[in-house]
Structure 1
């Protein structure tokens, strides 16, 4: 009777492993694939590669040697056998033997099938402040290896191999307040015209309103209008949610206002609490939450036309692809064209309103 065996990938298995990766992931992700033969674990069944875990080992700073869990994939015919969990379990002593002090992985917030495996091994989400404290000036190296500079809706899961104390991830009210403050501060350069284009006399967008204090409150108002209706909808469906902000999204949110004078909202999102759920059972509820959220944003824009709310609605309608997977658009996209058509018409109606406003 054939059994599954885990081993370090051999050089002659590289082509077979790459082919399996290509079958398991969307073609749009091919540009960020990596595979290092010496640090790739594979699962063999009857002599064939049926699953794999691509690891990236590198030095971050004097105290941290990182073992990054990159691409985890399983052949469709062999899913449901617990191979992903076995690969992660095998990777930890393997990485420790290579001198790693830390292990990390990045997982999209609506992917409980993946982060549940990490939770079982003692991983926890590492907030941005925790990343800065741990990696210091090596933070950008960590992001570079993880292709993290622009991803939105992904969270860094982290494990100290020495068993050090975990740092809590800010959630709910604390996360929302911090996010609202950050979004407000990053909207100020847009309001004040502090950007590279204005220095070159090329500024093309002006934000004005008789009540300046109201403009400053637009990010907070937009985030509230986006979040609270979804929360109420989920409560009526007895779905337990938790609000989390994103981390590397602020890299874009910092650059765009100062370079182009455009706002880039970082709304975070509401996520289903815990890991004992699946997209198969909750995809429709998440899509409906997103439609409620987008409808509320559209109404706010009609009542108070402003670029921040319109940009946020645009992101939540059209940006469903990597690295923007955290926006509402990706949840709506999963439920097909009925939901998507309504969402697109809603947003285009806001643009039409802008033309006649």
Structure 2
């Protein structure tokens, strides 16, 4: 019997899972609508379709698979397709993230390589700090100013609870270096004294509020945007720290302003790592020290062991003990940040230091 010869016709390949060739072509979604992301909750995104337009409406969206691991955050302008009516049960898809003007990032500490994007497209970082209960932490303020400088955002220091402590020390420390400062206090009932000054500082801008738990951040948001109902926390009498109440960031439109105004309230933080900030850019966040450092010898590291550093001479040349202490605190804060970023100092994982 002759032996059978096989050829390619006898070979049968069973198509397996994923054997279908993938194409790099993606839909153009030419009919996509523009929306503003206002909140994120477990894979669902609250969006405002046609923001500030005649057909503005609230809708819910999910992220399209084609976006991969790209993170969508409050403040993002996105392109959406699908059911954008905003009717109950409707669901649209986010297919593109538009180019971001600014991105505010932070890391868990100064050695963590993982960046966490907080918000996008904000042009002002509002550092909410209580003057008492809990006590202000100037190192946390300095870290936030550095993050704002790195993100090319303006920094606004909002001091709360002025009825409990004098704001003069912090005003004198930050106002001269270009950080705008507004002060508010708890008045009678739900009224906040100084609220109009805060509103004026926010007018026409998109501002993100950052601060420790218990500093009055949500209280301020509730006063600026009545009916919001952001949870208000209390401060632990033993630890002096606030309890986390807001669990996610949310963008809110502020009524009663001359220009369209948005605030993005974020959960309270106990750390603000700057691993994403180039150490060479840190000095730029300390405008007063940057001017002094121009007199340093070439190649000066500005660290504790830097010879002939002009920062040390600036501290010693202060006119009185009070000014010398204030200048020394500024230089120490900068050098601690610098050492932490360079890995030559102890990372400040939890910002608990007092001024």
Give the TM-score taking structure 1 as reference length.
0.26
Q: Which has more strand, going by share of residues?
A: 2
Q: Which has more helix, going by share of residues?
A: 1
Give the TM-score taking structure 2 as reference length.
0.26
Q: Which has the larger radius of gyration?
A: 2
